[in-house]
Amino acid sequence: MKQYPQKKQASQKQASQKQASQDQTSQQTTSLERDTANRAGKSSAKHSAPERPGLAVNSAINLIASAEAIRPGCLWVVATPIGNLEDITARALRCLNEADLIYCEDTRTSATLLRHYGISTSTRSLHEHNEAQRIAEIQAQLQNGKNVALISDAGTPLISDPGFVLVAALRQAGLPVFAIPGASALTAALSVSGLACQRFIFEGFLPAASKARRDQLQLVAGEQRTLVFYEASHRIVESIGDMASIFGADRPAAVVKELSKHFERCIGGNLAQISAQFAASPELSKGEFVVIVSGAAAKEPGLESARQLLITLQTELAPAQAARIAAKLTGLSKRALYSLMNSVEDVEA
């Protein structure tokens, strides 16, 4: 289309105004970034240095994250991914990047995560065999204004991982400890299990020895809240079998394996069905597991009280006398009490 001179001049003028507006916006954005960085008030020369090369967090996230500077002289308990390296927060990355030192459950395992995000902060080990010996040096670092981060191989530190001894000691000494929340296999598994998760208890890893494991399961057999366990691949089959035996084969459960990884899977059903699936498919035993079991059904208060009364009376009286006295005290029929008496004898047998 032919353009007349006046229209051409107007077009050029509009283009110049648009460019000037873009330049002004760019200058304002740069000024905003500079002001935000200044407000962050880095606590040391290291923290005020340019961002480490290779840190895989885009500039928009960095701008938001820098609004709150990492405070000096604190221990930061940082959650890390449980499988998928993307499952980490911008705040966690910033903390690990700005920390003076990172204590890891295994420095070799954590190196994969740190290398992936271009974080070159120095690392030291802190595990169950040396945790107590690390306390004094970490206390000294915090008292000297250093920022220290604590991470485990995967997930949230202290949850079936090292760190409790350290955190308890620092709290006792009045030193600041802060959490940077994130991934946890415990809550992730509960969220996809399809079982009640409003109230639950976490048992962590069961004992490796068969008798100790069964004893521990007996202690929680009557628990009405949902039960959550961690289990290793070489014990998962035996543990599920013990649960079926002690909790009852028809108790609903779910086994979640390889959370956030390519082969993530949730195996549901009752304990007998799940045990049968593992027996039929040995490959299911590979991986890391969270076992979730429904709590025990609530017992009728009257019957349970009568049952306890019968147990006590039978230690001193003949069955007929025990039933007659229990019937007077509870108001239940002798037939119901005889039935309870038989169930007591079955349990004792």
Instruction: Please tell me whether residues 72 and 175 are part of one structural domain.
Output: yes
Q: What Å distances lie between residue 173 and 19, 78, 142, 163, 168, CA to CA?
A: 59, 21, 11, 15, 9
Res 69: pLDDT: 63
CATH number for the domain that contains residue 134:
3.40.1010.10
Res 176: pLDDT: 97
Full pLDDT tens readout for the chain, 349 residues: 444 444 444 445 455 554 554 555 444 444 434 443 443 443 333 333 334 444 445 543 454 445 466 788 999 999 999 999 999 999 999 999 999 999 999 999 999 999 999 999 999 999 999 999 999 999 999 999 999 999 999 999 999 999 999 999 999 999 999 999 999 999 999 999 999 999 999 999 999 999 999 999 999 999 999 999 999 999 999 999 999 999 999 999 999 999 999 999 999 999 999 999 999 999 999 999 999 999 998 766 567 777 788 888 888 888 888 888 888 888 888 777 777 777 655 545 4
Instruction: Please tell me whether residues 192 and 275 are part of one structural domain.
Output: yes
- Residue 305: inside a domain, yes or no? yes
Res 51: pLDDT: 43
Question: Helix or strand or coil: residue 316?
Answer: coil
Q: Of 294, 299, 298, which Cα lies nearest the Cα of 200?
A: 294
Bridge partner residues of 173 (DSSP): none
Beta carbons within 8 Å of 6's beta carbon, 6+ residues apart = none
Place of tokens 């991986």: 287
Res 301: pLDDT: 56
| Nearest-10 crossing angle of helices 334-348, 319-330 | 120
Hey, what are 337's tokens?
């009490």
Beta-carbon neighbour count of residue 271 at 10 Å?
25
Question: Helix or strand or coil: residue 149?
Answer: strand
Give CA–CA dist 76/102, Å, rounded: 9
Instruction: Please tell me whether residues 279 and 309 are part of one structural domain.
Output: no
Beta-carbon neighbour count of residue 68 at 10 Å?
11
Res 328: pLDDT: 84
| Nearest-10 crossing angle of helices 271-280, 236-247 | 150
Q: Of 295, 186, 277, which Cα lies nearest the Cα of 237?
A: 277
Sign of CA dihedral 23, 24, 27, 29: negative
Place of tokens 């429904």: 294
Instruction: Say if residue 295 is exposed, middle or buried (CB neighbours under 10 Å; 0-12, 13-18, 19+).
Output: buried
Place of tokens 């050029």: 12
H/E run at residue 124: strand 123-125
Instruction: Please tell me whether residues 151 and 65 are part of one structural domain.
Output: yes
CATH number for the domain that contains residue 283:
3.30.950.10
Res 7: pLDDT: 43
- Residue 45: inside a domain, yes or no? no
* Domain carrying residue 319: 301-348
pTM as predicted: 0.69
Instruction: Please tell me whether residues 170 and 241 are part of one structural domain.
Output: no
Give CA–CA dist 193/203, Å, rounded: 17
Instruction: Please tell me whether residues 138 and 172 are part of one structural domain.
Output: yes
Are the C-beta atoms of residues 298 and 256 closer than 8 Å to each other?
A: no
Are the C-beta atoms of residues 100 and 148 closer than 8 Å to each other?
A: yes
Are the C-beta atoms of residues 251 and 270 closer than 8 Å to each other?
A: yes
Total tally of structural domains belonging to the chain? 4
Q: Would you list the DSSP string of 264-295?
A: -EEEEEEHHHHHHHHHH-GGGGSS-EEEEEPP
Instruction: Please tell me whether residues 197 and 258 are part of one structural domain.
Output: yes
Largest CA distance in the chain: 119
Q: Would you list the DSSP string of 234-263?
A: TTHHHHHHHHHHHH-TT-EEEEEESTTSTT
Instruction: Please tell me whether residues 77 and 116 are part of one structural domain.
Output: yes
Instruction: Please tell me whether residues 158 and 243 are part of one structural domain.
Output: no
- Residue 207: inside a domain, yes or no? yes
Hey, what are 94's tokens?
């910033």
Beta carbons within 8 Å of 321's beta carbon, 6+ residues apart = 313
Place of tokens 């606590």: 43
How is residue 74 annotated by DSSP? -
Instruction: Please tell me whether residues 165 and 204 are part of one structural domain.
Output: no
Instruction: Please tell me whether residues 271 and 309 are part of one structural domain.
Output: no
- Residue 102: inside a domain, yes or no? yes
